Chains A and B, each alone.
Chain A
Amino acid sequence: MAVLELENDVASAAPASRPRRVGILFVGSVAWIAVIGLAGIFADWLPIQSPTDMDLLAKRAPLFSPGHILGTDHLGRDELSRLIYGGRVSLLVGLLAPVIGVLIGGCLGMVAGYFRGRLETFAVGGVDVLLAFPPLVFVLAVTAFMGQSVANITIVIGVLGIPAFTRVARAVTLTLSEREFVTAARALGATHSRILIRELLPNVALPLLAFFLLAVAVTIVVEGALSFLGLGVPPPTASWGSMIGEGRENLDIAPWLAFLPAGFMFLTVLAFNIVGDTLRALTDPRPGAL
């Protein structure tokens, strides 16, 4: 214990050479996330049109059309409304699915990377089996038996993400397990669970969090790709991913139909990552040595 505490004191005694200020980008990111999140939560009460009402005479209306500030889609539905309701779905799926991955995959990977031996072989083998198993069969099976819904899509994408988290967590744990602080803790008689939770977890958490934020972005896109194949959230529920897919067919007549949801998605995942980066910079004060 003494050795470790000393290490921490040394670390915090070193002067931080970067000013710990939150920049304007951080503030902007938080604001954007708040706006999108709140709009999604309170969508039903906002003074916006219905996302499913079709104004068939005003198909693909351009931006700033009367009554439709962001135009309409190929079936005459209001874009702004669909972007807000779609954001709700995309954020829900985008945030919750990777949680499944990081919780299950992260634990599995850490345990595998720490204990090695047969446990690791089983874990890695199981992950390999999941990876080689055709995801489409899995999606079709879930859709056939449990129906198509936002909840089921979240579970499906979450489960499909477990192998990646497992492998990443395992890789990080492999490196860390051989580090001095773990050896020291073991020498001092710490139990496995104490080492895992107190020593390894905080260090694995950071790279996993970074990966998690990437996974949020990828999940939103994967849901869109599934919608492209007819397996995403069921119509008429919108999601940014499915809107991008529908927009693809109208690229030269109404390019904003694809680029607006792509833009919203871009700003949102960027915001998440700026927040993540900033938080990491704040909690890990050592500057880069180069």
Chain B
Amino acid sequence: MAKFIGRRLVYLLPVLLAVTLLTFLVASLLPGDLASTILGDQATPEKVAALRAQMGLDLPIWQRYGIWLWDVLHGDLGRSFRTGETVWDAVTARLPVSLELMVIGVALALVISIPLAIVCAVKSGSALDRFFTGLAFGKLSLPNYMVAILLIYLFAVELNWLPATGWVPFAEDPLANLKSFILPALTIAFAEWPVLMRVLRSDMIATLQEDYIAMAKAKGLRPARILLVHALKPSSLTLVTVAGINIGRLIGGALIVETIFALPGIGRLLVGAIYARDFIILQGVVLFVALGFVMVNFIVDMLYAVLDPRIRHGRA
């Protein structure tokens, strides 16, 4: 076990290096740079060159990456030239917002999708199954920016139960904080549940056809027990995989949801940094997101072994 964790940690470093290097390289290829952005309509070639030199942008890519890496290894994530705030402050101010959104959103999605998937798998082919299938695809056809605005019109404008926009820190007012997350989290949950429900249903239908399920039934076990204890676990592989990927992506922020509900999350920070070519912020965010991804995938891989004991870890 310890060996497994140790192996995973060793694997973490090259991944972080590869992601940040790749991001640095590709982002450097994008037209325009921070100097031109800052200078705007005053971006004469001379001024741009002068500002680039001042910002250290005229050094070769390898050197710039190396300097960044060196600073990071010494605990200094840098400071945005554009806003003056440190990368650490910028990211840690917004990460909790995105994390809370992700946790509540995915939890709601699972609460919706797992029971529905079980029901549809058991009654596969029936009218109920068809209905929920239709609902799932109907929901997929309504993208999250549509759902968001519909939810806002209903709950914020018409009923005035929940706020349309904004965020209150948990420490300041826990109830207001939760209220401000309900609509955005619902938007995310509604976006995620169709795929999660469908993959679980798919895998469950296949599992329910297995011999050992027939045997369990023959042994006289109650259907509920068979379902939840014997069938659900091994069917959850794809569900866990997809949920893991979605959670990882959500750590990187949910740009559209954050924009519509005006939540100060990682997504807006990331996109703002990309559009302004503010690399130091971009690198900082990518570092955190990559860290998050690796951790989530680590958990997902551990879950594989838990869910399906037939999967052992590694083989030379």
Residues of A within 8 A of B (CB): 18, 25, 116-117, 121, 124-125, 128-129, 131-134, 136-138, 140-141, 144-145, 163-164, 167-168, 171-172, 174-175, 178-179, 206-207, 210-211, 214, 217-218, 221, 224-225, 228-229, 241, 244-245, 248, 251, 258, 262-263, 265-266, 269-270, 273, 281, 284, 286-290
In Å, the complex CA distance between A116 and B134 comes to 38
In Å, the complex CA distance between A287 and B31 comes to 57
Which residues of chain A have C-beta atoms less than 8 A from B140's C-beta?
217-218, 221, 266, 269
Cβ A138 vs Cβ B297 within 8 A: no
Q: Which one of A137, A171, A228, A286 lies within 8 Å of B27 (CB-CB)? A: A137
Given the interface pairs A125-B15, A245-B145, A290-B208, the reply to whether A269 lies near B289 with Cβ below 8 Å is: no
Which residues of chain A have C-beta atoms less than 8 A from B149's C-beta?
248, 251
Which residues of chain A have C-beta atoms less than 8 A from B226's C-beta?
290
In Å, the complex CA distance between A224 and B191 comes to 14
The residue in chain A whose Cβ has the minimal distance to the Cβ of B22 is A133
In Å, the complex CA distance between A18 and B205 comes to 14
Instruction: Tell me how far the C-beta of A258 lies from the nearest C-beta in chain B, rounded to whole angstroms.
Output: 6
The residue in chain A whose Cβ has the minimal distance to the Cβ of B217 is A289
Cβ A137 vs Cβ B23 within 8 A: yes
Main secondary structure of the interface of A (DSSP, over half): helix
Q: Which one of A140, A207, A288 lies within 8 Å of B30 (CB-CB)? A: A140
A/B interface sample: 10 pairs, CB < 8 A: A117-B315, A128-B293, A132-B294, A140-B30, A164-B242, A168-B242, A174-B237, A175-B308, A251-B153, A286-B209
Chain B residues 214-232 with CB under 8 Å of chain A are: 214, 217, 223, 226-227, 231
The residue in chain A whose Cβ has the minimal distance to the Cβ of B216 is A289
Which residues of chain B have C-beta atoms less than 8 A from A172's C-beta?
237-238
Which of B35-43, B92-100, B248-256 forms part of the interface with chain A? B248-256
Give the one of A137, A138, A290 with max B CB within 10 A.
Answer: A290
Which residues of chain A have C-beta atoms less than 8 A from B29's C-beta?
141, 144-145
The residue in chain A whose Cβ has the minimal distance to the Cβ of B150 is A251
Instruction: Tell me how far the C-beta of B104 lies from the nearest C-beta in chain A, rounded to whole angstroms.
Output: 21
Which residues of chain B have C-beta atoms less than 8 A from A175's C-beta?
234, 237, 308, 310-311
In Å, the complex CA distance between A141 and B219 comes to 59
With contacts A248-B146, A251-B153 known, what are 11 further pairs, Cβ within 8 A?
A: A128-B19, A128-B294, A131-B249, A132-B248, A137-B274, A144-B29, A164-B245, A174-B308, A175-B311, A217-B137, A266-B140
Given the interface pairs A172-B238, A214-B199, the reply to whether A136 lies near B15 with Cβ below 8 Å is: no
The residue in chain B whose Cβ has the minimal distance to the Cβ of A241 is B143
In Å, the complex CA distance between A225 and B145 comes to 8
Cβ B241 vs Cβ A131 within 8 A: no
Which residues of chain A have C-beta atoms less than 8 A from B133's C-beta?
270, 273
Cβ A225 vs Cβ B143 within 8 A: yes
The residue in chain B whose Cβ has the minimal distance to the Cβ of A18 is B125
In Å, the complex CA distance between A287 and B205 comes to 9
Cβ B208 vs Cβ A129 within 8 A: no
Which residues of chain B have C-beta atoms less than 8 A from A265's C-beta?
141
Cβ B137 vs Cβ A270 within 8 A: yes
Which residues of chain A have C-beta atoms less than 8 A from B294's C-beta?
128, 132
Which residues of chain B have C-beta atoms less than 8 A from A287's C-beta?
209
Cβ B237 vs Cβ A171 within 8 A: yes
Main secondary structure of the interface of B (DSSP, over half): helix
The residue in chain A whose Cβ has the minimal distance to the Cβ of B210 is A289
Q: Which one of B11, B153, B310 lies within 8 Å of A121 (CB-CB)? A: B11
In Å, the complex CA distance between A164 and B11 comes to 20
Cβ A116 vs Cβ B143 within 8 A: no
Residues of B within 8 A of A (CB): 11, 14-15, 18-19, 22-23, 26-27, 29-31, 121-122, 124-125, 130, 133-134, 137-138, 140-146, 149-150, 153, 195, 198-199, 202-203, 205-206, 208-211, 213-214, 217, 223, 226-227, 231, 234, 237-238, 240-242, 244-245, 248-249, 252, 255-256, 270-271, 274, 282, 285-286, 289-290, 293-294, 297, 304, 308, 310-312, 314-316
Given the interface pairs A137-B274, A269-B137, the reply to whether A132 lies near B143 with Cβ below 8 Å is: no
Cβ A290 vs Cβ B145 within 8 A: no
Going nearest first, the 3 A-B pairs with the smallest beta carbon separation are: A132-B290, A266-B141, A289-B214
Which residues of chain B have C-beta atoms less than 8 A from A270's C-beta?
133-134, 137-138
In Å, the complex CA distance between A98 and B44 comes to 44
Which residues of chain B have C-beta atoms less than 8 A from A207's C-beta?
202-203, 206, 238
Instruction: Tell me how far the C-beta of B225 lies from the nearest C-beta in chain A, rounded to whole angstroms.
Output: 11
Which residues of chain B have C-beta atoms less than 8 A from A167's C-beta?
241, 244-245
Which residues of chain A have C-beta atoms less than 8 A from B150's C-beta?
251
In Å, the complex CA distance between A269 and B245 comes to 22
Instruction: Tell me how far the C-beta of B16 lies from the nearest C-beta in chain A, rounded to whole angstroms.
Output: 9
In Å, the complex CA distance between A207 and B244 comes to 18
Which residues of chain B have C-beta atoms less than 8 A from A206's C-beta?
206
Q: Which one of A136, A228, A290 lies within 8 Å of B227 (CB-CB)? A: A290
In Å, the complex CA distance between A44 and B205 comes to 43
In Å, the complex CA distance between A198 and B14 comes to 35
Cβ B18 vs Cβ A168 within 8 A: no
Which residues of chain A have C-beta atoms less than 8 A from B146's C-beta?
244, 248, 258, 262
Instruction: Tell me how far the C-beta of B49 lies from the nearest C-beta in chain A, rounded to whole angstroms.
Output: 21
Give the one of A124, A131, A141 with max B CB within 10 A.
Answer: A131
Instruction: Tell me how far the C-beta of A167 lies from the nearest C-beta in chain B, rounded to whole angstroms.
Output: 5
The residue in chain A whose Cβ has the minimal distance to the Cβ of B314 is A116
The residue in chain A whose Cβ has the minimal distance to the Cβ of B205 is A288
